[in-house]
Structure formats: structure tokens, C-alpha cells
A and B are shown apart, each in its own frame.
Chain A
Amino acid sequence: MKRVYIILMTIAVLMSAGLFLFDDKKPDDQLSPQKLLLEINDDSRYWSTDLVADKIIKHDPALLLIDVRSNDQYEEFSLPGALNIPLENILDEEWQGYFLAEDFDIVLFSNDEIYAGQAWILLRRLNYKNLRVMQGGLNHWAETIMQPLMPKQSAPQEAFELYDFRRAANQYFGGGSGEIQPVDTETIQVTRKKKKSAVEGGC
């Protein structure tokens, strides 16, 4: 009996060791091409500009916007709260932690959806979850949120509701600049000059 046990144990250990070796050869935590194609053809990987605007306005804590354009373009203009990871650095080690955060809805965007789409397919192949692409990118953002078009009179009710939302969102994103201050300082200087003239009048 004891011999049998020893033989069995060695077989079991050898087989499990073999399994480990086998695993090492195929690091297959990547998404298979077939599954990736399924997701490519699934439109739910896109988020509309309206949905993104709504989430920004509501300060959705689970929203993570990632601008994949160059650093220059990012510094000139980007969406509020967006993080800049240029496309060429998207696979760099230092950024991978952001994509691992599975509680976040990660929205990739560029000027159109080409670069964002390329970042999406590479990251999705590496099996990061909850990745989206902003549909139409910033150019479409400018057309829908920044310059909403009034729907035709014959348009359905939803079109008008969407238009109202976009106009409200437009005010939200456009109203942040404080240009009033320089006007105030000028007026103060003017009044001081007049004080002196008042004293002169007394003499």
C-alpha cells in the first residue's frame, strides 16, 4: 500500500508541475481575436457626447476621461477633469494602473474617434475593462454641445428635449471665464484721480 501511495503522489506532483510549465508558455490573459471582433461590432463601446456631458455636469465620481491627443493639444483645450495620455504612451507601464481601476468608466477621446479607437482596441486586447470611446470625439463635441442646432419645427419632442439639454450643457461648459475683474481695477483708478480734483475745488 505504501508504495502505491508514493507512486501516486509522484505522478500527481509531476502532472501538476507539467501544468505549470504549460501555463508559462501561453500567457493568455489577452482577449481572443474572435471576442475582440464581437466587441468591435458592438456599438455600446461608444458613448455619445451628450452622455459624457451629462456625466461631467453631474460630477459622476466613476467617470475617468482620458485625452489621447498630444500634450500640446491637451494644454490648449480639453474636457474638464480629463487626464492626458498621448496615444504613443498609452501602453507605458506608468499608466497601466489607471486602466486597472475597474470601478471607473474610462472614456477615451481624441479630435475624432480614430486615435481613441486605436487606443481602445489595444487596451481591450490586454483585457482592461469598462473602456469606452467618445463618439465623434471633440469635433463632434463642438458640433453638439458647443454649437447645438435648433431642431426643425416638425421634429419629435425628444429632439427638442435634447436641444434644451445641449443648450444648458453649453452654458455650463462655457460660463467659467472671469473677464469681469480687469474692468473693476480700471474704474478704481479713475475714481482716485477725481478725489484730488475735489480738494482743489475747496481752495
Chain B
Amino acid sequence: MDGKNKLLIVVIAFVLLIILGIISVKKPGLYYEMTTEQALENALSYMDEVFPEDLVYIVENSTPGYQLVDVRTPYDFLKGHIATAVNIPSNILLEEDNLDFLRGLDKDSVIIVLYGNNQSQANCPWMLLRQLGLENVKVLLGGYDYFHASITDPYGIEDLPSYLVEDAKYDFNELIQSNVASEFSPDVSAPEVVIPKRKTKKAAVEGGC
């Protein structure tokens, strides 16, 4: 009888352990609703990019159906932000309150425009929210820096760098060529020194005749 009791205890412990394991696996509350392939396809379609010119129009006319979300730090937000934007720093983007707020907007088909100081800062938060199934999240090209500069200088007196940052700014090969010409000029001239020596030798033969 003693042996049977021990066995029973072991069995119960075993079953409990497995049940505990199953419960603990179920925990993560957030799921990706897009596969990586779908996310890549979406990024390559450029459908979620908002042009700064369009946003200027939207902000100035306070077009309904848009919500700007500033993913920068609260400090940056206080220093200056686009009118009507709310601040959700990217490090607390997935906290329950924030995600519920964004999900609510998304369900009401409000277009959520994320922006950071530059496009890169909002790029990954945008990719992440899209993969979590928020369909109306978009990202501002050029970010706050470009937007602010274009607002304060509406006539384009100063040359703004393009907000299409993935275009090559320079002709890289030309840069290398110019480097070779300027910094390696002694190396290039070195073989020229050899040329006059050969010429003089032949002149000496001529003299012999």
C-alpha cells in the first residue's frame, strides 16, 4: 500500500507540472497578425508612407480622420512638436493603455501617422505596429526635422536635403576618384620621372653616328 501511495503522489505531481507548463506557455498576450513575408511586401509597396507636403495640408486644414503620434522622447516633444500630435515614446509603445488607444483609433479607421526626428526613428515602430495587425498606421517621410524646417522656411530659401533619404546623396565612385586625384598625386607622377631617362639614352645613340 505504501508503494502505491508514493506512486499516486508522483503521478499527481507529474500531471500538475505538465498543466503548469501549458498554462505558462499560453501567457504572451501579443501576437503577430502578419507573417514576415506579408510585412516585407507591405514595406516594399510604399503604401504607408506619408509625404510631408500632404501632412502640411492635413495639419493646416485640420482634416478629420488623422491622428499624429510622436514617438520621440517626452523631452523632445516638449521642445516642439507638430500641432495636434500626441506623444507616445517608442519605448512604451506596447504598454496596454497605449496599445488600446492605438487599436481603438485603428478600429475607427483613423489614419495614425507616426513620426520621429527622422524617418528612421519611426521606421521600426511603424513596422512593428503593422505586424501586430494595426492596418491604418503610417509613417512620415523626413520626420519632424524636415517638417519643422519646411514650415519655418515655406519658400525654400535654404536648400533642404531631400526627405527621400534612401536615394544616394553622392556619386560614390566620383568621390573615390577625386580622393585619388588629390591625395595620391605624388604616386601618379612617379612613373613620369622614368620617361625622360629613356629618351636621353636614345639621344646618345644618335650622337654616336
Which residues of A are interface residues toward B (Cβ below 8 A)? 1, 4, 8, 11-12, 15, 19, 22, 26, 28, 30, 32-34, 36-37, 40-41, 73, 76-77, 87-88, 90-91, 110-115, 117-118, 120-122, 125-126, 137-139, 142, 146-147, 170-171, 173-175, 177, 179-180, 183-184, 187, 191, 194-195, 197-198, 201-202
Interface locus among B54-62, B118-126, B146-154: B118-126
Contacts of B91 in A (CB 8 A): 37, 41
Chain A residues whose CB sits within 8 angstroms of the CB of B93 once the complex forms: 37
Assess whether B168 is in contact with A73, with CB atoms less than 8 Å apart.
yes
- What is the CB-to-nearest-CB distance from A138 to chain B, in angstroms, rounded to a whole number? 7
Is there contact, CB below 8 Å, between B173 and A77?
Answer: yes
B182-209: CB near A (< 8 Å → 1, else 0) gives: 0110011011101100110010011001
CB distance from B162 to the nearest CB of A (A): 10
Q: Main SS of chain A's interface residues?
A: helix
Decide if B123 touches A195 in the complex (CB within 8 Å). no
Q: List 27 A-B contacts (CB under 8 A).
A: A11-B11, A22-B25, A30-B32, A32-B30, A33-B30, A33-B31, A34-B30, A37-B128, A41-B91, A87-B43, A113-B120, A139-B170, A142-B172, A146-B172, A170-B179, A170-B183, A174-B180, A174-B183, A175-B179, A175-B180, A177-B177, A177-B180, A180-B188, A194-B202, A198-B202, A198-B209, A201-B209
Contact A111 B90 (CB under 8 A): no
Q: Enumerate chain B residues within 8 angstroms of A114, measured Cβ to Cβ.
A: 119-120, 123, 165-166
Instruction: For B18, give its contact among A15, A191, A198 (CB under 8 Å).
Output: A15
Q: Which of B40, B119, B169 is the one whose CB lies under 8 Å from A122?
A: B40
Q: B interface, how many residues as a size bin?
A: 35 or more
Q: Known contacts being A197-B206, A201-B206, is A90 close to B40, with CB within 8 Å?
A: yes
Contact (A111, B180) CB under 8 Å given A37-B91, A125-B32: no
Given A121-B128, A184-B191, 10 other A-B contacts at CB below 8 A? Answer: A4-B4, A4-B7, A37-B128, A40-B124, A117-B120, A118-B40, A125-B36, A142-B172, A174-B184, A177-B176
8 A Cβ contacts from B106-131 to A: 119-120, 123-125, 127-128, 131
Query: Is the beta-carbon distance between B179 and A112 smaller than 8 angstroms?
Result: no
- Which of A33, A110, A117 neighbours the largest number of chain B CB atoms within 10 Å of its CB? A33
Q: Give complex CA distance A33, B8 in Å.
A: 41
